[in-house]
Amino acid sequence: MLSKAENERLTLIDAGTPMGELMRRYWHPIAAASQLDENPTKAVRLLGENLTLYRDRSGTLGLIEDRCPHRKVNLLYGIPEQEGLRCPYHGWLFNETGQCTEQPYEQAEDPNSNFKDKIRVKAYPVQEVGGLVFAYLGPQPAPELPRWDLLVWDNVYRDIGFCVIPCNWLQIMENSVDPVHAEWLHGVFANYVWERIGQPERAKRIPPHVKIGFDVYEYGIIKRRVLKGDTEENVNWKNGHPLVFPHLLKVGGFQWRVPMDNENTLHIWYYTYAAPEGTIVPKDEPVPVYEVPVPGPNASGQPEWSLLDFTAGQDIAMWYTQGAIADRSTENLGRSDKGLILYRRLLRENLEKVARGEDPMNVFRDPEQAKYIKLATEESIGVRRRLDQQRLASSAGQGGGATKFSPVLATKQGATTITAEEVR
């Protein structure tokens, strides 16, 4: 268990808190670039700050504070110009650095006015990679944005799922180093859900875990398991799959758990699909987006069983029903919790690095090192074999697990996908 003070140290992400300072050393995914195609502005909440993401008419992305410093209008309603975002109330214009570049009435009344030069809103750097927009809220100079493998693979279809989960980010991340929950939550409980919704024929059995193991490596923690009937020669143990520090999981695809504030987390599912043989995916192919619902109780206060019949829904329910911020001062950890104990230790070690003025794990300063980072997983061998048969020239794609909400499955006929059952 953790003391109340230690629990706060590991969970709270406001500016000036230990974890808040650690999290501000990283680039965070905040949106799909395709979300700005229909509406060029988007409200963003990240690390306790309310911001406006926009794309101006030149294609430049900007991320600025959400209120105009003139009369505090919400810039979500801003008008994108050729260079910057214009406040709709009185026309003040701001560029991606946060600098005010125009004040129409003030300049009309006094052409020599330098008032605009004194006005600046908070602004943060953003980059688009692999269809995702990433933001950096930390001290300068900003580190390199790491190009984790799925983000930069060529000739693949992608889709991105989003869900705002009403709980602290840490209880979601601790699930990433908890392999034993799979046999119960996604096996026994899933079978009960299917019984409740009248689909008992979908029942399945996940073999029990007989051994779990965890290794810290250069990018985070490798999670391993041996299921009953398997040996340590199985890829689940030999390869495992990684928790990428501080808040990314690779299993089938990517899952980011981005702290919006202390009690809300933006969960992002990012999957890739190999194109059918002979197909070339345009580099500017819009990435479709889907929303994953939070399976809350219904109007009668009972579980919404129909939203618990898939893996993500089951996980989400377990995460947020621990409370907005889980009270770890009353927890009772067992042998199955050795992974989350290791992860908490890794968090503490990196908090100390930041306190000493050092870069924490996975902060990259060398552009060459950050331009492509391969993250091997337990499914890599089988996926690689299937996709090698489809690769086009030097371009290669790798498939990821699919959720029931993925639109790519319905729209990209012949795209290769790997199901959760295959990777388990």
176 and 295 in a single domain? The answer is yes
Residue 291 lies in a domain: yes
* The pair of three-digit structure tokens given for residue 41, joined into one six-digit string: 């502005």
Residue 144 lies in a domain: no
126 and 191 in a single domain? The answer is no
pLDDT at res. 1: 83
Residue 224 lies in a domain: yes
CB atoms within 10 A of CB 407: 12
Residue 325 CA to residue 1 CA, distance in Å, equals 14
Reduced to 3 states, what is the DSSP secondary structure of residue 80? strand
217 and 122 in a single domain? The answer is no
Token match 């019949």: residue?
309
Q: Does the pLDDT at position 256 exceed 90?
A: yes
What is the rounded average pLDDT of the residues 256-265?
A: 98
- Its domain, for residue 57, covers 27-136
156 and 110 in a single domain? The answer is no
Are the beta carbons of 27 and 369 closer than 8 angstroms?
Answer: no
pLDDT band at 403 (very low <50, low <70, confident <90, very high): very low
Please write the tens of the pLDDT for every residue from 177-186: 999 999 999 9
Alpha-carbon separation of residue 326 from 10, 119, 259, 329 (angstroms): 11, 41, 15, 9
Supply the DSSP string of 101-170, one letter for each residue.
EE-HHHHHH-TT--GGGG-B--EE-EEEETTEEEEE-SPSSPPB---BHHHH-SSEEEEEEEEEESS-HH
197 and 61 in a single domain? The answer is no
Reduced to 3 states, what is the DSSP secondary structure of residue 31? strand
Torsion of CA 359, 360, 363, 366, to 10 degrees: 50
Residue 58 lies in a domain: yes
What is the rounded average pLDDT of the residues 293-301?
A: 93
274 and 406 in a single domain? The answer is yes
32 and 178 in a single domain? The answer is no
Residue 308 CA to residue 312 CA, distance in Å, equals 8
pLDDT at res. 379: 58
Output DSSP code: residue 13.
Answer: -
Reduced to 3 states, what is the DSSP secondary structure of residue 123? strand
352 and 273 in a single domain? The answer is yes
Least trusted range by pLDDT, from 37-46, 134-143, 235-244, 383-392: 383-392
109 and 156 in a single domain? The answer is no
Choosing from 73, 103, 136, the residue where a domain stops is 136
Reduced to 3 states, what is the DSSP secondary structure of residue 260? strand
Q: Does the pLDDT at position 358 exceed 70?
A: yes
What is the rounded average pLDDT of the residues 285-309?
A: 94
Please write the tens of the pLDDT for every residue from 99-140: 999 999 999 999 999 999 999 999 999 999 999 999 999 999
pLDDT at res. 412: 58
95 and 205 in a single domain? The answer is no
Residue 125 lies in a domain: yes
Residue 142 lies in a domain: no
Residue 337 lies in a domain: yes
Choosing from 71, 105, 136, the residue where a domain stops is 136
Residue 100 CA to residue 86 CA, distance in Å, equals 9
pLDDT band at 243 (very low <50, low <70, confident <90, very high): very high
User: What percent of the chain has a predicted confidence (pLDDT) above 70?
Assistant: 89
127 and 165 in a single domain? The answer is no
* The pair of three-digit structure tokens given for residue 142, joined into one six-digit string: 């900003």
pLDDT at res. 130: 97
Residue 416 lies in a domain: yes
Length of the chain: 424
Which stretch of DSSP H or E encloses residue 171?
A: helix 169-174
User: What's the total number of domains in the chain?
Assistant: 2
Specify the amino acid at residue 276.
P
pLDDT band at 284 (very low <50, low <70, confident <90, very high): confident
- Mean per-residue pLDDT of the chain: 90
Choosing from 136, 169, 196, the residue where a domain stops is 136
pLDDT at res. 181: 96
Beta strand ranges found along 309-360 (DSSP E): none
Phi, psi of 342 (to 5 degrees): -65, -40
**Do the strands 289-291 and 156-165 form a parallel or antiparallel pair, or are they unpaired?**
parallel
Non-local CB neighbours of 393 within 8 Å, separated by 6+ positions:
none
Residue 44 CA to residue 31 CA, distance in Å, equals 8
Please write the tens of the pLDDT for every residue from 193-221: 999 999 999 998 899 999 999 999 999 99
pLDDT at res. 285: 87
Please name which of 392, 368, 273, 346 lies closest in space to residue 22, comparing C-alpha atoms: 346
320 and 262 in a single domain? The answer is yes
Residue 68 CA to residue 100 CA, distance in Å, equals 10
* The pair of three-digit structure tokens given for residue 397, joined into one six-digit string: 């794609």
Phi, psi of 170 (to 5 degrees): -70, -40
Residue 3 CA to residue 350 CA, distance in Å, equals 19
**CA quadruple 168, 163, 405, 200: dihedral sign:** positive
User: What CATH number does the domain containing 397 carry?
Assistant: 3.90.380
Alpha-carbon separation of residue 51 from 62, 145, 274 (angstroms): 10, 20, 35
